[in-house]
């Protein structure tokens, strides 16, 4: 038989309600309830916007009997580097123009203790906000194959998420509403425009067309010259086994050369389109500013290279037909 000995420091049966007992166990780090809201759409996040979010949270907490709180910030930079700030004061003291890393994601946590009328003990609520993708595309594929939890996959792939571990559902709803309202008010990241948008949207169609139609174009040019300068091609009385062999060898050679050129060119275009960089949604560090400039410069350079090669291909095809026409005039 298990005996329970009363202690002056622990709740005594009969003196506390079920809610008091529940809050006591939550206070002792039992698992609280959780409410989650996904944040959709990539938004521009600046240092001023982060401060604005904290101010909104603080104004909301002023309406309650706040016992204490700790706000911590976690920045995930490129190449897996992570910077933690245990308090908001440390975050504010940072000199952001000296950090040359690009921000991939930011996570903010408010650990809050609130005294509510119906509970004797203070209640702990934890507000967590993440903006930016939590995992890289490579890690995402591993997560898809190794996880059966759909909610976890949705959280990891979301553009942002707000999560509240709570005892009082009303406070949780208020905090989530504040974060959602803040996020909805942020500027949307601009979509890719112009030629880049077309290339990215129809990448597979474009790559497949280049691979399949390059040999067709070369065979068309070959046929144009063959009909123009090989007289026996139009004579039904000059069809010999040797001529048929010569034609087939020429046809097959040009087809395979065209296939090889088409494959090389299409692979080059495919890789170039994959090298397009998305614009960084954060404007916090010096690295974020540099990343924005580098992305624009890189994307413009890729677009120029693709358009230049496409233009040279068109001009080269036109010149081939023009030369044949000029040769025909010159011979006559």
Global pTM reads 0.71
Output DSSP code: residue 278.
P
If asked whether residues 81 and 154 sit together in one domain, one would say yes
Measured between alpha carbons, how far is 246 from 229 in angstroms, rounded to an integer? 15
Using the predicted structure, report yes or no on whether residue 138 has a pLDDT greater than 60. no
If asked whether residues 245 and 143 sit together in one domain, one would say no
Instruction: Calculate mean pLDDT across residues 133-148.
Output: 59
pLDDT band at 5 (very low <50, low <70, confident <90, very high): very low
If asked whether residues 220 and 169 sit together in one domain, one would say no
Measured between alpha carbons, how far is 84 from 101 in angstroms, rounded to an integer? 14
Pairing between strand 33-39 and 282-283?
unpaired
If asked whether residues 316 and 228 sit together in one domain, one would say yes
pLDDT band at 3 (very low <50, low <70, confident <90, very high): very low
The 10 Å CB-count burial string (b at 16+, else e) for 249-258 is: eeeeebeeeb
Of 124, 158, 184, the residue at which a domain comes to its end is 184
If asked whether residues 54 and 180 sit together in one domain, one would say yes
Of 151, 184, 217, the residue at which a domain comes to its end is 184
pLDDT in tens, 60-78: 988 888 888 899 999 999 8
pLDDT band at 106 (very low <50, low <70, confident <90, very high): very high
Of 160, 184, 208, the residue at which a domain comes to its end is 184
- Any domain includes 249: yes
pLDDT band at 10 (very low <50, low <70, confident <90, very high): very low
Measured between alpha carbons, how far is 43 from 38 in angstroms, rounded to an integer? 13
Highest mean pLDDT among 10-14, 31-35, 196-200: 196-200
- Any domain includes 97: yes
If asked whether residues 157 and 36 sit together in one domain, one would say yes
- Any domain includes 3: no
pLDDT band at 2 (very low <50, low <70, confident <90, very high): very low
Instruction: Calculate mean pLDDT across residues 166-184.
Output: 89
If asked whether residues 28 and 172 sit together in one domain, one would say yes
- HSE-CB of 173 using CA atoms within 13 angstroms: 3
Using the predicted structure, report yes or no on whether residue 280 has a pLDDT greater than 80. yes
For the chain, what is the domain count? 2
More confident residue, 243 or 48: 48
Lowest mean per-residue pLDDT among 141-145, 161-165, 272-276, 312-316: 141-145
pLDDT band at 30 (very low <50, low <70, confident <90, very high): very low
- What's the pLDDT at 7? 38
- Any domain includes 76: yes
pLDDT in tens, 179-202: 999 999 999 988 767 788 888 888
53: how many CB neighbours lie within 10 A of its CB?
Answer: 20
- Any domain includes 127: yes
Helix (H, G, I), strand (E, B) or coil at 164: strand
If asked whether residues 179 and 33 sit together in one domain, one would say yes
- Any domain includes 8: no
Using the predicted structure, report yes or no on whether residue 328 has a pLDDT greater than 80. no
Using the predicted structure, report yes or no on whether residue 15 has a pLDDT greater than 70. no
Instruction: Calculate mean pLDDT across residues 236-244.
Output: 65
If asked whether residues 54 and 72 sit together in one domain, one would say yes
If asked whether residues 204 and 249 sit together in one domain, one would say yes
Instruction: Calculate mean pLDDT across residues 137-151.
Output: 59
Measured between alpha carbons, how far is 82 from 78 in angstroms, rounded to an integer? 9
Give the domain extent around 40: 18-184
Lowest mean per-residue pLDDT among 50-64, 77-91, 114-128, 287-301: 114-128
Pairing between strand 103-115 and 82-85?
unpaired
- Any domain includes 38: yes
- Any domain includes 5: no
pLDDT in tens, 77-93: 988 788 999 999 999 99
pLDDT band at 176 (very low <50, low <70, confident <90, very high): very high
If asked whether residues 225 and 201 sit together in one domain, one would say yes
If asked whether residues 219 and 319 sit together in one domain, one would say yes
Closest by CA position to 186, among listed 104, 131, 112: 131
């Amino acid at each position: 038989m298990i005996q329970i000995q009363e202690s002056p420091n622990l709740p005594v049966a009969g003196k506390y309600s079920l809610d008091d007992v529940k809050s006591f166990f939550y206070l002792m780090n039992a698992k609280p309830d959780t409410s989650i809201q996904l944040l959709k759409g990539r938004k521009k996040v600046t240092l001023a916007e982060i401060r604005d979010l904290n101010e909104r949270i603080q104004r909301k907490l002023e309406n309650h009997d706040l016992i204490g709180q700790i706000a911590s910030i976690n920045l995930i930079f490129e190449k897996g580097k992570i910077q933690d700030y245990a308090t908001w004061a440390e975050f504010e003291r940072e000199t952001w123009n000296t950090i040359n890393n690009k921000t991939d994601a930011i996570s903010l946590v408010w650990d809050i203790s609130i005294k509510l009328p119906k509970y004797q003990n203070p209640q702990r609520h934890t507000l967590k906000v993440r903006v930016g993708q939590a995992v890289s595309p490579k890690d995402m594929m591993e997560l898809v194959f190794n996880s059966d939890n759909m909610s976890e996959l949705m959280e990891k792939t979301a553009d942002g998420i707000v999560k509240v571990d709570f005892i009082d559902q009303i406070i949780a709803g208020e905090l989530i509403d504040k974060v959602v309202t803040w996020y909805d008010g942020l500027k949307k990241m601009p979509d890719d425009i112009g030629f880049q948008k077309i290339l990215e949207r129809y990448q597979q169609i474009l790559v497949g067309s280049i691979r399949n139609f390059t040999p067709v174009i070369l065979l068309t040019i070959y046929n144009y010259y063959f009909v123009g300068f090989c007289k026996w091609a139009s004579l039904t009385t000059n069809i010999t086994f040797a001529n048929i062999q010569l034609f087939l060898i020429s046809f097959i050679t040009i087809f395979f050369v065209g296939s090889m050129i088409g494959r090389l060119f299409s692979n080059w275009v495919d890789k170039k389109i994959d090298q397009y960089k998305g614009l960084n949604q954060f404007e916090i560090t010096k690295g974020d500013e540099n990343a924005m400039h580098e992305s624009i410069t890189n994307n413009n350079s890729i677009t120029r290279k693709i358009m230049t090669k496409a233009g040279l291909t068109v001009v080269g095809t036109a010149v081939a037909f023009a030369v044949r026409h000029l040769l025909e005039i010159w011979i006559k």
